[in-house]
Amino acid sequence: MTSLIAVEKQKLENPPLKLHYLGDRVLRQPAKRIAKVDDSIRKLVREMLQTMYSSNGIGLAAPQVGINKQLIVIDCEPDNPQSPPLVLINPQINNFGNDLCKGEEGCLSIPGVYLDVIRPEAIEVSFKDEQGRPRKIQANDLLARVIQHEMDHLNGVMFVDRVDNGLALTAELQKHGFSVNAVKPIA
């Protein structure tokens, strides 16, 4: 169920891909489905993992590195070399659990900003792995939150769009040099 792509969990001085930040239009475009899982996709997965580890992240979506594809990499245990990353190609949530929970989220595309977001605690998601095989997993707690956060990126949604506390949101964004105008609240 876990990735077969071997990438050392280390911080590179010059990661292969460049992160895009809140306010960049590329983050607001819906990502396109990947028609064929091939070596170019596996190379992209490797580069996304290297970039994610180099930036102290636990999840990264292709739009965050300027690539308009439905591809996500996740590793909730970046300090554990025994725990392989999860690669989700064309992910789709089939089911949401009934329980909602509030949790603090951050984003590599909005560095330094951490705010509470309410999301379903458990999900069922289907996707293709890096070999192109169909997969389905049940996820809860942190993994469910990270998958939902990264899948939002595939739809041009940022976690700040889901923050209920407008005062905290405005204060945090301004403190870190981001424009509140870049937020697109979800109705």
Which positions are annotated as active-site residues?
A: 150
Q: Are strands 59-61 and 71-74 parallel, antiparallel or unpaired?
A: antiparallel
> Which long-range contacts (C-beta less than 8 Å, at least 24 apart) are formed by 76-80?
76/142, 76/143, 76/146, 78/9, 78/52, 78/53, 79/9
- Tell me the C-alpha distance between 72 and 68, whole Å: 11
- Tell me the C-alpha distance between 64 and 61, whole Å: 6
Cβ pair 17, 54 in contact under 8 A: no
Residue 81 φ/ψ, nearest 5 degrees: -65, -20
Q: Write the DSSP assignment of 37-90 as a string of letters.
A: --HHHHHHHHHHHHHHHHTT-SEEEGGGGT--BSEEEE-S-TT-TTS--EEEEE
